[in-house]
Structure 1
Amino acid sequence: MTIAKIGIIGGSGLYKMESLEDVEELEVETPFGSPSDAFILGTLGKTRVAFLARHGRNHTLSPSELPFRANIYAMKQLGVEYLISASAVGSLKEEAKPLDMVVPDQFIDRTKNRISTFFGEGIVAHITFGEPICKNLASVVADAIASLNLPDVNLHRGGTYVCMEGPAFSTKAESNLYRSWGATVIGMTNLPEAKLAREAEIAYATLALVTDYDCWHPDHDSVTVEMVIGNLHKNAINAQKVIQETVKRLSENPPASDAHSALKYAILTNLDKAPAATKEKLELLLKKYL
């Protein structure tokens, strides 16, 4: 079943896509439970896309509560091959200013309570993850940003996203530690998505939208909730323009992606001898290797 080849996950502030046409809602069930919300299916330009509000459209799910496996598995069920993840982040570098956009190429995992694999229960798989973002998809996203010349927005191609557990933000000591590691931005959601998307053989890229500086910055204490919400709103408007342009470019020239064959050498278990129940549960991921 292919309903949409392009999926979009909207983070904090991005709960819907205003420019979608021919919109319909679709409740999707997976072997891993229900996703964060109903999917919004619609047309951007001439291309059908699947949109999901990561935290629910009323922002009712904290980062640690997100049904990551259901979200990504549902994308796979809908036929998604390219997944764009828009996310609010804090900046760990002076040059990555509020309202800037970062298209990271690396992650550091600081989560503690997330299940970030579909496998287990009798089937073992180890994906390669040295390059956790699909470079070709990330290039399309970055080129889309560059082409739009958005006011007050600087593009940062590449960078490291620290994924923390949350929901509390970092201490200053942690923030300075991440800066010493050379990290660019910090958020709470994208790494489990990236790992699961790779297992699902979906090309994945992050559109990181800077809302403010993390607490290392000397001006951090002067940041107000109103300022952050204002930046979230501006970022959401800009993100929709970027996503629309990215979808246009993807539909005209879908890039090759190593992610699309990520499981080819990753499964260590002899599937002929694997538990039938697990094979059935993961049939969508395994069928071309069975």
Structure 2
Amino acid sequence: MQPFKIIGIDLGSNTLRAALMNSNFKTEISKEFIVGSARNLRPGGKLDAFAKERILNALDEISTIFDFKSYPCVAVATEAFRLASDSAEFFSEILSRFGIKFSIINGEDESKFIEIAVKKRLEILKLNIKNPLIIDLGGASTEISFNGIYKSFKFGIVRFFNEFNAQNLQSKNAAFITKYAKEFITHLSSGGIILTSGVPTTLAALKFGLDYQNYDPNLVNGKIIKFDEFAKFRDFLTNLSSLEAEKKVGKNRQELIIAGLFLLENLLEGNDKFIVIDDGLREGIMISEILRRLNDNK
């Protein structure tokens, strides 16, 4: 079979991530946009008008970077779009405008795709971890996979911030919000905890001297962060001015990263260190599609 390439798009509750991957599982181009899909969203309510505008602007830019006429595209959307009442209407608009067809996937499938991506990256890094516990803290939901068990919990950084937008409220409520997920992972016997998604990757980047503009997933993948660094970097971000924070972690991310650190601190209490992996849902859907095509041509 001739080599081929796949475009993958993950439209999450906070970010839109797109990439081009070849049939050797190498990512050739990747882009990420902060779109805040879940901002101001209540279950059963409509997507925020500004969020929709940010998504459309991101897709406009993506259309100039990726060659959709030459390569097939797999595009998925997650929890914010499971919650919103106008998702179908919005995706119909996107299809007619960009020719990109989004599928809204459920939390269990999301968790499976994330696991595929993380395990592939661990394999590339030659990190042999028995029964890894993989946690993806998203914008509106948190996906956890362990040894064939896939769970999705109804909390994420944007959803949490929508409900508790002051640090004193976040500090008081994070334990309650993460309670069931914490109970679930407490009884699992894992060879290592893997953290993926924006909060842990940002923390790892800060720890190793990267800022938002020079972020490099290759420098973040496989890095170790420790439990006490959640509070340390939360304090660090709290004390930055808005301009300083924008340079360090990106526009409109300071408060969300802080909220996410409260969630991780409460969820992972009792654990010491964690491996950070940048790969997630975006990579998982591309790997799955590549494997499907390779199997179909055997």
What TM-score, normalized to structure 2? 0.34
Of Structure 1 and Structure 2, which has the larger fraction of its residues in helix? 2
